[in-house]
Amino acid sequence: MKNFREIGLAVFTCLAVTGCGDGAPAATDKVSVAENTVQTANAAVDADTRLVVVFGDSLYAGYGLDREEGFAPELEKALKARGLTVSVHNAGVSGDTTAAGLARLGFALDGLPKKPDLVLVGLGGNDMLRGIGPEQTRANLDAILAELDRRQIPAMLTGMLAAPNLGADYSAAFNPIFPELARRHDVPLYPFFLEGVVGNPQLMLPDSIHPNAAGVDVVIGKLTPQVARALAD
């Protein structure tokens, strides 16, 4: 994780100046939170189509990207290229903490056209950036996965790593959250969402936090096989 270590200072500089994804991009041709919500709530899904929901923060929402460049539409394209009949619904909200995600989970699930075949959970990055206690992050993610299990909805977890300048103690408490919860709830884990992307300026937006379109392509290339296996299981 040397690359992640190198951008630690840039992460916190961005957080202090811009909020790093607390709102939708300013450009009108970029995806907004409201547009995502409407798309997720209103899109019909055929009975034979597998429904995948990506439930997370700005990394899932497609922050700063054109509509078709974000994580959800690119994941759908990649899964279809593997021969799967699938619809990927974007339930990412920029700026979401795990607490905010937990608060909106029921509303997001109840507004879907049918019960999902898989929900990807990608939250925790904003908790880390704001220095929220890892015990709160753990409890909120635990509750999200428990609710999905209660509803008998298969889940998959994508992890995050703490910026090194938060200190060794914070990293030691934060980083194990994702593998430990994946084991507890028996769900697949992709350990670090930005693996192979973070720290490479050619793959990141100018804020050094969010992937650009090329960076999303790298994430999709690494993550899609595991999503396909989760759907097959």
Measured distance CA(39)–CA(23) in Å, rounded: 18
Element counts in the chain: helices (H) and strands (E): 11, 5
For residues 52 and 79, is the Cβ–Cβ distance under 8 A? Answer: yes
The catalytically annotated residue of 32, 58, 87, 171 is 58
Does 89 qualify as catalytic in the annotation?
Answer: no
Phi, psi (degrees; rounded to nearest 5) at 145: -65, -35
For residues 98 and 136, is the Cβ–Cβ distance under 8 A? Answer: yes
Quick one: CA torsion of 21, 89, 105, 139, rounded to 10 degrees?
Answer: -70
Measured distance CA(190)–CA(178) in Å, rounded: 9
- What number of CA atoms fall less than 13 Å from residue 211's CA on the CB side? 24
The catalytically annotated residue of 32, 171, 208, 210 is 210
**Residues near 5 by beta carbon (within 8 Å), at least 6 away in sequence:** 164
Does 32 qualify as catalytic in the annotation?
Answer: no
Phi, psi (degrees; rounded to nearest 5) at 37: -60, -45
The first and second tokens of residue 23, run together, are 């709102």
Give the type of residue at 79. Answer: L
Does 185 qualify as catalytic in the annotation?
Answer: no
DSSP secondary-structure letter at 201? G
The catalytically annotated residue of 57, 96, 127, 207 is 207
Q: Catalytic residue numbers? A: 58, 207, 210
